[in-house]
Amino acid sequence: MRALRAITVTAIAVVIAAMPGVASPAQAELGLPLSAGAVATGSGGAVATVDADASRAGIDVLRQGGNAVDAAVAAAATLGVTEPYSAGIGGGGFLVYFQAATHRVFTLDGRETAPAAMGPTAFVDPATGQPLPFADAVTSGLSVGVPGTPATWAQALSRWGSRSLAQMLQPAIQVADRGFTVDETFAHQTQDNAARFAHFSSTTALFLPHGRPPVVGSTLRNPDLAETYRQLARHGVDWLYHGRLAGEIVDTVRRPPLVAGDPYRAHPGVLAAPDLGAYRAIVRDPTHVQYRGLDVYSMGPPSSGGSTVGEALNILSHTRLSAADPVGALHSYLEASRLAFADRNRYVGDPDQVAVPLEQLLSPRFAAQRACLLDPQHAAGGPVPPGDLDGGYHGCPPARGSAGGATKEGPNTTNVVASDRWGNVVAYTLTVEQTGGSGIVVPGRGFLLNNELTDFNFASTQGTQPDPNLPGAGKRPRSSLAPTIILRNGLPMLAIGSPGGATIITTVLQILLNRLDLGMTLPDAIAAPRASQRNTATTEAEPEFLNRYETALKARGHQFITNPEIGAATGLDFFEPGKVCAAAEPVRRGGGSALVVRPS
């Protein structure tokens, strides 16, 4: 699935740095090998994903005359086969699209929705009055929201594509029929989920053949998913939202298919057929901030990705960041993230059901007030309160209120970036939430259902203040997905996205910091070790980050815990007209795959 041969970051950096308009690579060696397929430069369009089969599906569409939207859908559908624990038609996501003909940026909200019967105490155990254990809520029908991915594909193709959904499903059907080679990442993820997969007969049959995870190097076929895709190609997505498959999804959620005799209590969901029939993918306005003279566009609520990345960039615009002082730059990055997450947790939810003060959150005046709380030498040392959105923003008043907690979000998602010869660009992040979603495969259909509703807060985290992210009828839970497109003088410069739950926000932000402020090439910026501060007492950091920076940052008051791997990003970096560098992870999640139509 993923390329394995390694080459050095330095070799790639030298090639890319020689291209006009590209910043020189970071001076420090990254200490991470690049897989042979992790970087590609050229023209005619590009695709980058975590998986070689998916990237190949997208690039083949471009070579056959399709556009960036077509390629993104074909790649995403293939990821539903080869990365089923991260994405698929049982999940949802957000798509950001730059339209070259109009120089406009559009966003499509394909977030899952809660059933009409779901109320604010849905995840509270009535017997105890306490929130359900998170693990029990995840592996259940109760966690499943109405899938948004099929509607996203259909609407994106209808509005901006040049090919039909039936055509764009064909590469995925072929992969599902012939199978894909199980790599170490897939085998490890299966093993990690084996205990909960084993509760469900349909999941066991697909992912635990002979009662065991598939071995590395074996071939995993999914004929049920191939047939499901064929039915979608034949009947359209109405078959899922209004037809036979809708009924099968409802039955699965309300009566999870437990293995006979299994004592596990899989909480049934309350999803009903009208919930699927009412689903719509929504075109929304993108978030927009200016940073260092560039226009940064991303996804607005119900995702908190665009607002939180945008606010943090606004805060960082008040600081001087330089590769000559990486510790100072990283300190500012972590503290800006802390402040922006405090505001994210307090104010962001589904804009159709709660009043999200997005304009104020992205206001330069609000950012200036928040930036004055950033001490260049000392970390805050713990959670900070959210800012006061009073509209005044005079001086630096002390923050008021309590520091509310955040949702526990699953780490597994996936990202697709694509461009075409006409200059259109897509950044598309899609997910089923946890690794393996709810753990429940729809019997005979070959795909996992999401557990996105566990992105709601199970109980209020805001004290006496209203909590914008409690469950509600038809509500979309707050997300952290942050597909991002950056324009320079009205033309694409960067497209970025990543998986990782709430660390998505910090991953995208740190890659932008690396690329725009610290002079790294995009492959370097993606490969560099990461840390994630989300308004908590401790900062999660990868081992290599700690090796390099822990001592210096501890001296400024930061405390760390180890996270073995943060994110698995993909991105595009545009040079002179028509030239693009596509980049994926060199190592994380087994390494990604980047392809261009005409390599140079």
User: 260-272 pLDDT, tens per residue?
Assistant: 999 999 999 999 9
Handedness of CA 137, 142, 146, 147 (dihedral sign): positive
Backbone angles phi, psi at 247, to 5 degrees: -65, -35
> pLDDT higher for 15 or 524?
524
CB-CB contact of 379 with 537 (8 Å): no
pLDDT at 577 (0 to 100): 81
Angle at CA of residue 527, ends 584 and 86, nearest 5°: 50
What is the pLDDT averaged over residues 171-181?
A: 97
Confidence of residue 73 (pLDDT cuts 50, 70, 90): very high
Q: Which residues contact 166 (CB under 8 A, 6 or more apart)?
A: 233, 234
Q: What integer is the mean pLDDT of 286-302?
A: 98
Where are the chain's structural domains?
A: 6-40+69-282+408-484+497-566+576-599
Angle, alpha carbons 475-282-365 (nearest 5°): 80
Q: What percent of the chain has pLDDT over 90?
A: 86
Residue 32 has pLDDT above 70, yes or no: no
Please provide the average confidence, as pLDDT, over all residues in the chain.
91
| Span 462-483, average pLDDT | 92
Stretch 535-556: mean pLDDT, rounded?
97
* CB distance 290 to 166 below 8 Å: no
pLDDT over 90 at 35, yes or no: no
What number is the average pLDDT over the span 119-133?
93
pLDDT at 157 over 70: yes
3-state secondary structure 222-270: CHHHHHHHHHHHHHCCHHHHCCHHHHHHHHHHHCCCECCCCCCCCCCCC
List the single range of 17-26, 210-219, 277-286 with lowest mean pLDDT: 17-26
List pLDDT tens digits, range 91-124: 999 999 999 999 999 999 999 999 999 999 999 9
Active site (catalytic) residues: 413
Residue 463 CB burial class (10 angstroms; 0-12, 13-18, ≥19): exposed
What span, in angstroms and rounded, lies between the C-alpha atoms of 319 and 519? Answer: 16
Q: At what angle do helices 326-347 and 364-371 cross, to 10 degrees?
A: 120
The pairing of strands 92-99 and 219-220 is: unpaired
Q: Return the minimum-mean-pLDDT range out of 253-262, 407-416, 427-436, 496-505.
A: 407-416
The DSSP element (H or E) to which 562 belongs, if any, is strand 560-562
Answer whether 0.95 is exceeded by the pTM: no
- Between the two ends of the chain, the Cα-to-Cα distance in Å is 24
**Confidence class of residue 66 from pLDDT cuts 50, 70 and 90?**
very high
**Residue entry with tokens 């291209």:** 19
pLDDT at 5 over 70: no
In this predicted structure, the answer to whether residue 194 has a pLDDT above a threshold of 50 is yes
Distance CA 245, CA 229 (A): 11
Return the higher-pLDDT residue of 251 and 578. 251
Q: CA geometry: angle at 420 spanning 418 and 423, to 5°?
A: 105
Reported as a single tens digit per residue, the pLDDT across 378-425 is 999 899 999 998 777 766 766 555 555 555 565 678 999 999 999 999
Q: Judge residue 479's burial from the number of C-beta atoms within 10 Å of its C-beta, 0-12 exposed, 13-18 middle, 19 or more buried.
A: buried
Fold category of 6-40+69-282+408-484+497-566+576-599 in CATH? Glutamine Phosphoribosylpyrophosphate, subunit 1, domain 1 (3.60.20)
pLDDT at residue number 305: 97
Residue 461 has pLDDT above 80, yes or no: no
Would the pLDDT of 20 be above 50? no
Q: Which helix (H) or strand (E) holds 294?
A: strand 294-298
pLDDT band for position 14 (50/70/90)? very low
pLDDT in tens, 333-373: 999 999 999 999 999 999 999 999 999 999 999 999 999 99
